[in-house]
Amino acid sequence: MKLILIFVHVTVCLAMILIVLVQKSKGTEMGAAFGGSSQTVFGSTGATPFLHKVTTLTAIIFMITSLGLSIFFSRGTTTSVMEGVKQTKAPVAETTKAPAPQTGKTQK
């Protein structure tokens, strides 16, 4: 089960990277990168709604597989990351009061 979940996670991760790279940027046009006009790559209406839905779906699947992997790999392990660290006491600062400095005037 873990191996299947890892495979799906990596596949979705790569797909999400490719989908984000294919989407039209606000500053540059995708068609201009291939030598055509701005809207000829995905048709005259563009692919924004379709790619937006696919990006949302892959992001949801990515989050679910990330959560599933964290649950699967943390199951049965109750160790702490601080388990092997040696505990030492912090040095205590001295709190003795020093005499007040003399200003040259004496009290009578």
pLDDT above 60 (res 10): yes
User: Count of domains in the chain?
Assistant: 1
Residue 89 has pLDDT above 70, yes or no: yes
**Which structural domain, as residue segments, surrounds residue 62?**
46-75
Check: CB of residue 20 under 8 Å from CB of residue 55: yes
Calpha distance 108→22 (Å, rounded): 89
Tell whether 2 is covered by a domain: no
> Is residue 70 assigned to a domain?
yes
pLDDT of res. 31: 56
pLDDT digits (tens, 9 = 90+) for 64-74: 999 999 988 88
Instruction: Please check whether residue 51 lies inside any domain of the structure.
Output: yes
- Residue 58 is assigned to a structural domain of this protein: yes
Mean of the pLDDT values across residues 15-32? Answer: 75
The reported pLDDT for the residue numbered 80 is 72
Whole-model pTM above 0.75? no
Residue 35 lies in a domain: no
* Domain presence at residue 40: no
Would residue 57 count as lying in a domain?
yes
Query: Is residue 82 over pLDDT 90?
Result: no
Residue 98 is assigned to a structural domain of this protein: no
